[in-house]
Amino acid sequence: MRFCQLVITSLLSLIAVSAHANNWYDRGNAGFALFCAGQAPIVLDLYEVSTRELGVVKFSKADTAVDKAVDLASRLNSVDPARARQYKDSALDFMASAQFVTDLGIRKTPDLGLVTVPAECTLEQVVFQRNPSILNKARYVVNANLWNQLDADNQAALILHEAIYREVINSTANELFSERVRIFNGIIHSHQVLSLLKTDYLKLLQELHLTTYEENGLKISLGYTTPEGFWVDSEVFMDGMGRILSASLAANQYFGYGGMEYACIGSTVAEMGRVTLDDGNIRTLRVNPDFARDGACNLPMLIVPDSNGFAIFGNMWFFGREQNLIRVDGTLNKKAQLAYKGMTYELVPDLFKTGVYNTTFTFDSKMNLIEVGLGGTPCLNETEDKVQFVQNLANGEGTVAISDTGKPEQIPVCR
């Protein structure tokens, strides 16, 4: 059998996607199928299972195309339950988000990459996907004439392909081609993920440029594309039992932990910070300086209990084994007052100094504040009955211990 090499590296694909952000609104991406003389059509992802030696396709035994796609996604349940749920939701949403067209063809998108096509076959675009916008209400445009020629298994393969691609186009991976999406779809179809150890599975996700993995409600960063367009693997350290010990957290996510709250969407910096974990629980979190400088999202924050609503935006967090907050370090850049259990703690900035003041807050196991530092030398202002942290180059920065009743301990009087 003669083969021809179809290599699509259109300059348009380089123009349509910037080096530092995914602009998929105009470019879009697609699901393809092979239509060969005298043979039933086959989705490209399934055809490549054999050409890429990914194993043997094992179809779902469910009935409808959507049910089959959901069943295929469930193969990730044991190794990647969060991603399995995501793909199932996308599959269930497919028909409601699709516009089926019969009176026009779909212009081929330049996202195929390297494809080997038998000479007697044609490669046809069946589905076109892009995020809904003012340009398009439907996420998917489907060529109904071609779709109806596919059996339910191939329709399911396209639905799963689009579910994977939906994740990719909304991630920090700047993928120009769909090769990695097709490979992951093929691996799921061949049921190979069940045989992988967690360490090998995460390495596979990195090779596929899938940017995150969810562990105990935390989105772990696996990698990202730099502004120059290069993929970078993030370091993930695990023990022999496959438990993550240290990793970076993806910037765009929401979670709460031990009184700390974090929420961010739209950050241009891929990683928020670095965590160490103990059996899935956070022990330390150090915020990425690039993320802090970017300023698109707030740092992880905590409202101090029994205070005047004082919010700590911390760049270094320490937690105990019971998920209790031990200490948080942060910064202030202006005058601030913490009213806590009847006493006021105040930062008095130096009028001639610009920059930030280092802060620290320590808590007991019941989230009572037991020590505070606001970036200066502490003293008791007896006239105003408050603790002031005053800039003093000779004495530097200090902290104040706080009793069970909320009163400061062993603090000199302000002079």
Q: What is the 3-state secondary structure (H, E, C) of the chain?
A: CCEEEEEECCHHHHHHCCCCCCCHHHHCEEEEEEEECCCCCEEHHHHHHHHCCCCCCCCCCCCCHHHHHHHHHHHHCCCCHHHHHHHHHHHHHCHHHEEEECCCCCCCCCCCEEEEEECCEEEEEEEEECCCECCECCCEEEEHHHHCCCCHHHHHHHHHHHHHHHHHHCCCCCCCCCHHHHHHHHHHHCCHHHHCCHHHHHHHHHHCCCCEEEECCEEEECEEECCCCCEEECCCEECCCCCEEEEEEECCCEEEECCEEEECCCCCCCEEEEEEEECCEEEEEEECHHHHHHCCCCCCEEECCCECCCEEEEEEEEECCCCCEEEEEEEECCCEEEEECCEEEEEECCCCCCCCEEEEEEECCCCCEEEEECCCEEEEECCCCEEEEECCCCCCCCCEEECCCCCEECCCECC
Q: Does the structure show a pLDDT above 70 at 402?
A: yes
174 confidence band (pLDDT: 50, 70, 90): confident
Structure tokens given for 278:
């103990």
Q: Does the structure show a pLDDT above 80 at 362?
A: yes
Q: Does the structure show a pLDDT above 50 at 7?
A: no
**Is the model more confident about 17 or about 402?**
402
Give the model confidence (pLDDT) of 280-324 as tens digits: 999 999 999 999 999 899 999 999 999 999 999 999 999 999 999
User: In whole numbers, what is the pLDDT of the chain averaged over residues?
Assistant: 88
Q: What is the pLDDT of residue 344?
A: 95
Task: Report the alpha-carbon distance of residue 62 to residue 157 in Å, rounded.
Answer: 13
Q: What is the pLDDT of residue 108?
A: 62
Range of weakest confidence among 12-16, 103-107, 398-402? 12-16
CB atoms within 10 A of CB 318: 19
Pick from 58, 59, 177: which is nearest to 115 by CA? 177
Q: What is the pLDDT of residue 30?
A: 74
Q: What is the pLDDT of residue 332?
A: 86
Beta-strand relationship, 301-303 and 231-233: unpaired
Q: Does the structure show a pLDDT above 50 at 19?
A: no
Find the mean pLDDT for residues 232-256: 96
Q: Using an 8 Å Cβ cutoff, are 19 and 119 in contact? A: no
Q: What is the pLDDT of residue 406?
A: 85
- Measured CA to CA in angstroms, residue 265 lies from 122, 217, 229, 262, 350 at distances of 41, 16, 21, 10, 35
Q: Does the structure show a pLDDT above 80 at 180?
A: yes
216 confidence band (pLDDT: 50, 70, 90): very high
Q: What is the pTM of this model?
A: 0.86
Q: Does the structure show a pLDDT above 90 at 143?
A: yes
Q: Does the structure show a pLDDT above 80 at 199?
A: yes
111 confidence band (pLDDT: 50, 70, 90): low
Task: Report the alpha-carbon distance of residue 372 to residue 347 in Å, rounded.
Answer: 11
Strand order in the sheet with 336-340: 336-340, 343-348, 386-390, 377-381
Task: Report the alpha-carbon distance of residue 107 to residue 118 in Å, rounded.
Answer: 22
Q: Using an 8 Å Cβ cutoff, are 115 and 6 in contact? A: yes
What is the chain's alpha carbon radius of gyration, rounded to the nearest angstrom? 27
Q: Using the structure block, give the residue that is written with the tokens 């530097």.
A: 396
Q: Using an 8 Å Cβ cutoff, are 90 and 162 in contact? A: yes
Q: Does the structure show a pLDDT above 60 at 206?
A: yes
Q: What is the pLDDT of residue 79?
A: 95
Q: Does the structure show a pLDDT above 60 at 365?
A: yes
Task: Report the alpha-carbon distance of residue 373 to residue 401 in Å, rounded.
Answer: 9
Q: Does the structure show a pLDDT above 60 at 102?
A: yes
